[in-house]
Structure 1
């Protein structure tokens, strides 16, 4: 088993710890999009979305590609897409437990 530093793991997992960031990941899981397209998908504001994109990029979950005046964001690779899919598989199995968890923080 590959051993990764716990602080690195925590920085990586931070990318998944916010609703807006997860929504962004789901918005770009299949196709790359500009900030404006992501803002439209999420009905958010550009400043907030841009901050979350910076976090996701820093966590290694997404990459950006400059094309003229636009930056197109996409999920980093198939491994990250697989991980997002695996979350859904695991959550389908444990969602009732999560719903009953009294320690859950919104």
Structure 2
């Protein structure tokens, strides 16, 4: 049986709790991209995207690989890719409940 470290679990889930971070994860889900490619794909601000990439990297969700003057960002592994897919699957089941939920804590 796995021991649950709730603080680590919260930190991991924090990486998935922001629209921009989710957009970044979806953008690099199938292949690595540079910051410039991510900025262009999601129409974001480079400084903001860089901060979110640092968060995702710090949480261990993504990796960065230096090649020349560019850093290529990608998902850490197949399990992260599978988790993104599973989030989509669960969302289909609960989407109508989420839309009517009055108890969201921000």
TM > 0.5 fold call? yes
Contiguous gaps of at least 5 residues in structure 2: none
Give the Å deviation of 1:2: 1.5
Partner of 2:80: 80
Cα gap change, 1:92 to 1:49, in 2 (>3 Å): same
Deviation of 1:96 (Å): 0.5
Instruction: Figure out how many residues of one structure are paired with residues of the other and give that number.
Output: 106
Q: TM-score, normalised by structure 1?
A: 0.96
The structural deviation recorded for 1:104 is: 2.8
C-alpha deviations, 1:63-84, integer Å up to 9, x for none?
0000000000001000000000
Distance 2:4 2:20 in 1: 26
Q: Tell me what 2:43 maps to.
A: 43
Counterparts of 2:51 and 2:90, CA distance in 1? 28
| Alignment match, 1:59 | 59
Unaligned runs of 5+ in 1: none
Length-normalised TM-score, structure 2? 0.96
Tell me how large the CA RMSD over aligned residues is. 1.1
Q: Alignment partner of 2:103: what SS? A: coil
Q: Which residue does 2:33 correspond to in 1?
A: 33
